Every structure is written in C-alpha cells, then in structure tokens.
Structure 1
Amino acid sequence: MQTVNIHEAKTHLSRFVELASAGEEIVIARAGRPVARLVALESSDVKPRPLGLGRGRFTLPEGFDRMYADEIQRMFEAEG
C-alpha cells in the first residue's frame, strides 16, 4: 500500500490510476492523515448462470400456478 499527499495525487493521477487498476491500493493523505483510498473496481465480467441449475433439487405441487387463485382474486376485488 502506497501513501501519497493530495498534491502528488493530483500531479500524477494517471500513474496512480494505472497502479490501482493493476491491484495496488493507493492511500491519499492530507497533512499526513489518510483521507481517501484509490482501488480498482471489481471486475464486471460476471457470466450469466445457465438455466436449469435447480433441476431435480425441488418439486412444485400439481396446480401450483392456480393455488389460492380464488383468495387472490378476492383480494384484488376487495374494496378498501
């Protein structure tokens, strides 16, 4: 971890951004006291999960899509 003062951070910002993107943590200090931290963002290379990962792990009861249909309908039609 490298600590730099604000003036140095402003003067060499692109260099510190490169270091941070390479994995180094840069602490920015004012009058010798840490006030900020420059770190790389987490990778957004999240791959979508394939469909069907839960197949065979659980079952739904027959008619699940119609369970409590009458009660639900009454809730929507109820006057409040």
Structure 2
Amino acid sequence: MKKYNIHEAKTNLSKIISMVQEGETVHLAKAGKIVAEVKLVKEQKKRPFPFGKYRDQISITEDWDSKEVNQQIADSTMQEDIEDPNSPEEVDGKIHPKYK
C-alpha cells in the first residue's frame, strides 16, 4: 500500500490511477494523517430490464389521450383547498414583504 501526501497526489495523479487500475490501494495523507483511500471500484453489472414485465398490470385504453379522459383525471386529482402559490401571503394580518 502506497501513501502520498496531497501535494504529491496532485502531481502524480495519473501514476496513482494506473496503480489503482492494477489493483493497488493508495492512501492520501494530509499533515501525515491518512484522510482518504483510493481503490479500484468493482464494475457493477447492469441488470437488464425485462421487457414486458408489467404487461399484465397496466392497461391503456384507446381513448387514453382524449379530452374527456384528461378532464376526468384532472377532476379526480384536483383539490379545492389548494392555494394559489402566487397569491400574497398574510402573516398576522399583514402581507408578507416578499409580495409587496
């Protein structure tokens, strides 16, 4: 295991990366105290997404993008008590300074 101070590590970064790629672990020190460890990252295998995994759980009707369906979705998700985020906010009966 090799140890470099921060200045040496900056100067020898390419060398350190080559050492790590060869399987060596390198310690970085500041004022003689090890503050970091540089080691090879194991390549993570990308798991393939199984095509059609949710085929039986999702259904899309032919009118999925019609005005009527969009309105039904909007009506079912809208809440009457939602406040307008652009309206002035009152605190103790006074309008908040950011809205003046």
TM-score by length of 2: 0.44
Residue segments in structure 2 that go unaligned for 5+ positions in a row: 49-100
The root-mean-square deviation of aligned C-alpha atoms, in Å, is: 3.7
How far apart are 1:18 and its partner, in Å? 0.8
2:2 maps to 1:8: no
Moved over 4 A (4+): 45-48
Residue segments in structure 1 that go unaligned for 5+ positions in a row: 49-80
CA contact under 8 A between 1:5 and 1:31: conserved in structure 2? Answer: yes
Q: Which has the higher contact order (CA 8 A, sep 6+)?
A: 1
Question: Aligned with 1:29: secondary structure?
Answer: strand
Partner of 1:75: none
2:29 maps to 1:24: no
Partner of 1:51: none
Work out the CA distance in 2 between the residues paired with 1:26 and 1:43. Answer: 19
Work out the CA distance in 2 between the residues paired with 1:47 and 1:19. Answer: 29
Partner of 1:72: none
The structure with the largest alpha-carbon Rg is: 2
Partner of 1:44: 44
CA contact under 8 A between 1:25 and 1:37: conserved in structure 2? Answer: yes
How far apart are 1:45 and its partner, in Å? 4.6
How far apart are 1:21 and its partner, in Å? 1.2
Work out the CA distance in 1 between the residues paired with 2:11 and 2:32. Answer: 17
TM-score by length of 1: 0.55
Residue 10 of structure 2 aligns with an amino acid whose one-letter code is: K
